[in-house]
Structure 1
Amino acid sequence: MDWQEFLKGESGTHELSPEQTETLLSALLSPEKAPLNQAQLEVKLNTSDDNVKKRLGEIYKKFSKSFPELASQQGAGKLRTLHTKLKQKYYQPSQPVAATQASNSSPYPEEFRSLIEEKIKTFCGRRFVFETFQQFITENPCGYFTIIGDAGMGKSSIVAKYVSEHKSPCYFNILVERRNRPELFLKSIRQQLIDRYQLRNSEEADLPTLLTKVARKLPAGERLVIAVDALDEVEQEPGGNLLHVPKNLPNNVYFLLTRRPYSLDKKRLLVEVPQKELDLRGKKYVNNNQDDIKEYIEFVINTDSEYKNGLTNWIQSRSIPHTIFVDQVANKSENNFMYLRYVLPAIAKGDYNDFSLTQLPDGLRQYYQNHWVRMGMDAKPGQLMEIVLYILLEIGTPIPCEMIAGIAEEDECDVKKVLEDEWVEYLKKQNVEGEICYTIYHASFLDFLKAKREMDAKRKIFKEVNQRITEYLEKRMA
């Protein structure tokens, strides 16, 4: 079936009128070409701008039953989203979902549900990544596809978005939560595959056996894609592939992987099937990354109910042209989404009211350093805020406020204020067996703190923190 016939079928399924069908076919000329904009459609259809807007609005409304994102998304980008969704459906039928899974309230593993939902909430762009991956699985009978990028470039969000759209089996390695061991990965994937494909007598099966069983159950034309995030955070003894993934795969089985860069001598994924790496830092993707960064900035300014008013006021009070603000913040971000996650809310909340556009920090590391200085960390070394951060850094796993206060030998109320006021943006709060625990939110901030520790290795505070941790644990074991 060609593209236009496919679109006609989708139009019938979604009960589009003849005029709406004509508009859809004209706007989405092919899977490869970008959609026409409203001005182009006005000329092509020989109708008014109002008619084009009205028809597109009805199209989005009808397709939102299949693609809920269209209902929540506002402003520019809806047509691109619809194009992407239809293209994915055209090239790759949806994964089959077993009845046991369909009855659950969430299509994701419960352990990763909140992570996925958070990551996709403000997801923008990355179409070039999904299209390159789609091309890979179209051209190869099986294989491994790895996305490479620095901390904050959106690798986890890409995996979360793919999983949310395709309901693929998935695993997110999370170092600070100690969910990064091969046995935990196998246990999770095994259960997902058993539930999804109703595999019998597979409770103790290894990964190659599971994949072979699934491959035999796949209907013609369907594929299994297993998405695995953050290979660089895996904790595993030397020898063998990371997470013990097999060197060979059955036909129609693929892995979508992400990792941070590492040197060739540290490579731990050796396979005998097709593989491809997409390095987000590559020169060929500079323009793609910039476009996606700008799309995210536009999304926050125009759509994010929490921050759009504050951002608009900051921009207008300085008489900055909208496009200049977007372009300069995009350049300062150095193609890092984590930079935007911190800087845009900080602007909206007034943290940069005394700053001009050119004075905003350049890059994520400078943002962390500027915040460190603003919090008075260099002026007053050894204060409670610093001690709390280094306790979290040294412990490395989610711990409750009570434990942090015990190690710091400080009042629990004072420690809680640090956790939920001073450093709330940088910490993750989660419920662990009925107890609220805290960890450092993102690997980029973890790297920043580690660099501080290495640069100031002789400072007394590090020895004190480690000594207090040792004494606290010894008391608890006594």
Structure 2
Amino acid sequence: MEHTETLLAALSSPERAPLNQAQLSVKFSITEAAVKQRMGEIYMRFGNSFPQLLDQKGAGKLNLLFIKLKQKYYPKPDPVFAPYPEEFRSLIEEKIRRFCGRGFVFENFEQFITENPHGYFTIVGDAGMGKSSIVAKYVWEHQSPCYFNILVERRNRPELFLKSIRRQLIDRYQLPNSEDADLPTLLAQVAGKLTAGDRLVIAIDALDEVEQEPGGNLLHLPKNLPTNVYFLLTRRPYASDKKQLLVDVPVKELDLRESEYVNFNREDIKEYIRYAINTDTEYKDKLRNWIHNRSILDTTFVEQVTNKSENNFMYLRYVLPAIANGDYNDLSLTQLPDGLQEYYQSHWVRMGMEAKPGQLMEIVLYILLEIGTAIPCQMIAGIVKVDQCDVGKVLEDEWVEYLKKQNVGEEICYTIYHASFLDFLKGKREMDAKRRIFKQVNQRIAEYLEEGMA
């Protein structure tokens, strides 16, 4: 009974921060050592349900238990507004389709907003480590206002961000006369409408892809925030002397590359692979055939593909479907490429790009790289001066898994799917001293544009 009373006193409401040991000591007129002993026994009892409690060292166990119980027993009501902007619907739904793990990230963020009245929380990681998927999952579950910076679609400038977030906040919180309001004004208006226990979390993906004039914070994010207002951010690493978020509120960075998160990342990678071979209706049967034909144990497959992935989810996104589709029928498990960049290079060679440089498959990719925005098949065919059907075959058959297809106006347009593949192609451009393919591609683009203006 005393344990129950202590826990109920500590966690009196899902809308209030937990009481600490000193406060509980006063409330029950017992020593802090007695409170500590009771709480220790409480943590042990909840250890079966929430194993992270047993792994948590030092302070923070009560906050972690608070977070876990709130997630399990206090779900948020369905929103009366659109859960996320239409412009990001397809991206969010694609990112969460095979989402696995990452619980440690969400727990760290929940702990941050529990312990701080406002602030910025940034997830840092290399390309392919799942940063965008984490944001998409959070937005999906919490219906948070959001913005995804997308370099290849030129959706990465401050004015576009402000326009989108402004519209989301106006619709969600019914803000009158705010069509021209700046971000600090909008946040202040929202903060004034928040009821007890409510928070505003704005999720922003890929700060590293933002394009703006030098000076000030990226996307002109405010230095100060109202109470109960938080930002969940992601970015790739950059040098400390180029830090572009200078603020006067609490901040925290969770770097996915840090040694303390290696095992968490590895377990999430394994969970993703197990999902692919046991649950994914699109690929599981073909993957199991590949495993069976090589007399490999499931545990061996999971372990070795995890090692090959170098804890990179984008590697799995490409390699597992490639295995299922027969691209590696001539290879053993140990011969699979190591890491994402080796996968790109391996696929490049297997497609014959090194043996026959300058072929249509290569030129189409370089046009997409150089144009830098979504363009239709017809335009690519006009630049190359070949039949549109030939270009369509390249886009839909040869490079389909690397490209994103979207409707722009009344046309289907194509861009490069992921920044990591964009980086791979840029590396090709930097090494193109002998073949001069990029010079030819840019010349063809210029000629096509000049003809269109004539």
Task: Normalising by structure 2, report the TM-score.
Answer: 0.86
The counterpart of 2:46, out of the listed 17, 29, 48, is: 29
Given that 1:398 and 1:437 are in contact with CA atoms closer than 8 Å, whether structure 2 keeps it comes out as yes
Distance in 1 (alpha carbons) for counterparts of 2:52 and 2:189: 40
Structure 2 CA distance for partners of 1:242 and 1:32, relative to 1, 3 Å: farther
Give, in angstroms, the shift of residue 192 of structure 1.
0.6
Report if aligned partners of 1:406, 1:472 keep a CA contact under 8 Å in 2.
yes
**Aligned counterparts of 1:3 and 1:116: Cα–Cα separation in 2:** 38
What's the counterpart of residue 79 of structure 1? Answer: none
The equivalent position to 1:183 in structure 2, one of 131, 144, 159, is 159
- Once the two structures are TM-superposed, the CA of residue 33 in structure 1 deviates from its matched residue by 2.3
Alpha-carbon displacement from aligned partner over 1:250-304 (angstroms, at most 9, x marks no partner): 1100000000011012111100100000000111100000000000000111111
Q: Find the partner of 1:118 among 86, 94, 113.
A: 94
Of 235, 247, 255, 1:279 maps to 255
CA offset digits 1:2-32 (Å, max 9, x no partner): 878999x99xxxxxxxxxxxxxxxx993698
Report the equivalent of 2:140.
164
1:154–1:356 distance in 2 versus 1, CA, 3 Å: same
Please tell me the root mean square deviation across aligned C-alpha atoms, in Å: 2.6
* 2:352 counterpart (362, 370, 376): 376
1:450 aligns with 2:426: yes
- The residue that corresponds to 1:154 in the other structure is 130
Q: How many residues align?
A: 410
User: Cα deviation per residue 1:18-67 (whole Å; 9 max; x = unaligned)?
Assistant: xxxxxxxxx9936982399xxxxxxxxxxxxxxxxxxxxxxxxxxxxxxx
Q: Contact 1:236 / 1:242 at 8 angstroms: preserved in 2?
A: yes
C-alpha contact (below 8 Å) 1:171/1:228 kept by paired residues: yes
Does the Cα contact within 8 Å between 2:118 and 2:250 map onto a contact in 1? yes
Corresponding position of 2:22: none
1:96 Cα deviation (Å)? 8.4
1:395 aligns with 2:371: yes
Q: Which amino acid aligns with 2:400?
A: V
Measured against aligned partners, the alpha-carbon deviations of 1:100-159 in whole angstroms (never above 9, x if no partner) come to x2xxxx521000011101111110000000000011001100000000001110000000
Change (3 A) 1:323 1:89: closer
| Partner-residue secondary structure (3-state), 2:159 | helix
Specify the alignment match of 1:88 in structure 2: 71
CA distance in 2, matches of 1:168, 1:282: 27
**Per-residue deviation at 1:321?**
1.0
Q: Which residue of 2 aligns with 1:260?
A: 236
Match of 1:248 in 2: 224
CA-CA distance at 1:94 after TM superposition: 3.4
Structure 2: gaps spanning 5 or more residues: 15-43, 54-65
> Distance between the aligned counterparts of 2:244 and 2:363, measured in 1?
36
Kept after mapping to 2: 8 A contact 1:440/1:446: yes
Residue 434 (structure 1) shift: 1.2
1:142, 1:458 → 2: CA distance?
54
Contact 2:83 2:144 in 1 (8 A): no
Corresponding residue for residue 63 of structure 1: none
The aligned residue for residue 418 of structure 1 is 394
Give distance in 2, aligned partners of 1:35 and 1:236: 41
Q: Contact conserved, 1:29 with 1:35, CA < 8 A, in 2?
A: no
With over 3 angstroms needed to count, the CA separation of the structure-2 counterparts of 1:265 and 1:432, relative to structure 1, is same
How many Å separate the matches in 2 of 1:164 and 1:150? 23
Q: 1:173: which partner in 2?
A: 149
Q: 2:326 aligns with which of 350, 363, 380?
A: 350
How far the C-alpha of 1:163 sits from its partner, in A, is 0.3
Equivalent position to 1:435, from 385, 388, 411: 411
| Paired residue type of 2:356 | K
Distance 2:449 2:294 in 1: 53
Which residue, out of 290, 296, 316, partners 1:320? 296
**Aligned-partner Cα distance in 2 for 1:312–1:285:** 30
C-alpha deviation, 1:459, in angstroms: 2.1
User: Who is 1:475 aligned against?
Assistant: 451
Consecutive unaligned residues of structure 1, counting only runs of 5 or more, are 11-26, 37-82
For the 8 Å contact 2:341–2:424, the answer to whether it is kept is yes
Counterparts of residues 331-370 of structure 1 (less than 5 Å): 331-370=307-346
Q: Is the 8 A contact 2:76 2:142 kept in 1?
A: yes
Q: Is the 8 A contact 2:403 2:417 kept in 1?
A: yes
- Residue 233 in structure 1 maps to residue 216 in structure 2: no
